[in-house]
Amino acid sequence: MPHTHTSYLELIKTVREIGMLKSVAGVLNWDEHTQLPPKGTEHRATQVSLLAKIIHEKFSSAHVGHLITEMEASDLLHDPQSDAAVNVRELRRDYDRAVRVPSSLVQEISRVAVLAQSAWAEARRKSSYGDFQPFLARILDLKREEAECVGYRTCPYDALLDEYEPGETTANLNVVFASLRDKLVALIGRIGASGRKTPLDILERYYPREAQEKFARMAAMKIGFDFQAGRLDTTVHPFCSDLGPGDTRLTTRYDENYFGDAFFGVMHEAGHGLYDQGLKPEYFGTPLGEAISLGIHESQSRTWENLVGRSGVFWKHFFPLVKDAFPAALAGVSEEQWVFAANDIRPSFIRVEADEATYNLHILLRFELEQALLHEDLQAADLPGAWNEKMKQYLGIVPLDDAHGCLQDIHWSMGAIGYFPTYTLGNLYAAQFFEQAQADLGDLDRQIAAGNFAPLLAWLRKNIHSHGRRYSAGQLVKKITGKELSSEPLLKHLGKKAREWYGV
């Protein structure tokens, strides 16, 4: 039926135009966090909210709905895994969600998020939660309204979680997290009781900012990030922006008295960037040109930051280079001391600086608190106290101020309620994928030690990046590993590290 083929071409043309508008919004967002002068915040909020309204109205139009419906009745979709079938299936999912939310609400969420992010950055700088509290309260009101519009079976949190991790539920995450929590707490307890202390002071020496940036760029380039199709800038809270084919932007922050902040931050964001650069450019604007979920995206950043970047074999190649880059700071430091310092495991206040073992407890804390906030079991005014209580419960430490506590993350100011659990899912996916990559690639350790990252990147491109949204996260895990998602590979990895460095 020729008309259905024409309808498909029109549908793809329309969503590609929407993709271009989203890309423009992405440029404004990147600029907001890297270049925007403080007095431009109100104007940027107006720009972004107008663009969000235009994007939403264009996509949720009756015309797009008609094209999707026409395609669903077409014989063009007889193969459910064909490009056309995948695009139509995923566009239906996105469309059904979009039409439930009024464009006025989309516009208001976008406007408030810009103002809230600016207020958050200033409140974090001053460590003054009271300055941010009214913005968080407003964000929560808007997200409750969105959840009611979208609809849910069990609890409002499910409606927001589904945006970031399609098909995932709060109930299932509670089971997943329960399988990790007690084992992680026990492991961290054994490590603490071992009496072994990492030479952490090595990372806390003076590392000049310019040298840090040069070294981090070199490492990102070495693992495969294309700086002809990307760049690296500074911001308050590191992120990666995929603005479209040929334009993937990384950001980080520098602390001249702590090497790990920028370096492992860049490795993390470069992992995201490698995924974005691995999406097929010819599919831009369509579901086949987009990442499956935030959890799968996070698996790529955690792979390069932790499973590769903190490994002993990685530093077999990079330790001579880091010594050359920072001769004063690393005088007399051995490779073993350096790798031990990079694999320090101990409770700490800041999530993005947390080690692999304690990291998921930071996520559990946020997962529980944002549910309580959204469901109004916890009021925004009471967040700092509740945060500190959970920090003591899970990590045995209490933040000295709000900047090291409930103000450390940007996500709630962005309106990203339901986002945090995807970080732990990313750790689980990463460990399971990496275990399979090791089996498939033979001597992966030898390749990494030789500074040869191309085989691993090619494996990730073939098995994950190139598929876009062809498979769900669960289907992809099963396709690649032959198994359902499990906490065992991550716990096995952490247990091996604990035995190697702490003897427990």
Query: Can you list the positions of beta strands (E) in 21-109?
Result: none
Residues 6 or more apart whose CB falls under 8 angstroms from that of 362 comprise 351, 354, 395
Q: Is 90 a catalytic residue?
A: no
Residue whose pair of structure tokens reads 């001249």 in the numeric block: 256
User: Which pair of tokens denotes residue 431?
Assistant: 């460990």
Pairing status of strand 240-242 against strand 230-234 = unpaired
Residue whose pair of structure tokens reads 């929407």 in the numeric block: 18
Q: How far is 251 from 232, CA to CA, in rounded Å?
A: 5
User: Which pair of tokens denotes residue 184?
Assistant: 């992680």
User: In one letter, which amino acid is 67?
Assistant: L
Q: How far is 210 from 226, CA to CA, in rounded Å?
A: 20
CA distances from 464 to 192, 344, 431, 456, 479 (A): 37, 30, 14, 12, 10
Among candidate residues 357, 73, 381, 354, the one with its CA nearest the CA of residue 189: 357
**Which pairs from 441-445 meet CB under 8 Å and 24+ separation?**
445/311, 445/313
Full DSSP string of 119-152: HHHHHHHHT-HHHHHHHHHHHHHHHHHHHHHH--
Q: How far is 220 from 263, CA to CA, in rounded Å?
A: 9
Secondary structure element (H or E) that encloses residue 233, with its range: strand 230-234
User: Which pair of tokens denotes residue 206?
Assistant: 């003076």
User: Which pair of tokens denotes residue 85?
Assistant: 């079938």
Residues 6 or more apart whose CB falls under 8 angstroms from that of 355 comprise 343, 344, 345, 346, 348
User: In one letter, which amino acid is 78?
Assistant: H
Q: How far is 407 from 116, CA to CA, in rounded Å?
A: 12
Q: Of 269, 305, 370, 435, which residue is the catalytic one?
A: 269
User: Which pair of tokens denotes residue 449?
Assistant: 């030690």
User: In one letter, which amino acid is 416?
Assistant: A
User: In one letter, which amino acid is 27?
Assistant: V
**Residues composing the chain:** 504
Q: How far is 485 from 425, CA to CA, in rounded Å?
A: 9
Residues 6 or more apart whose CB falls under 8 angstroms from that of 235 comprise 33, 34, 251, 252, 253
Residues 6 or more apart whose CB falls under 8 angstroms from that of 317 comprise 448, 449, 450, 451
Q: How far is 17 from 136, CA to CA, in rounded Å?
A: 33
Residues labelled catalytic:
269
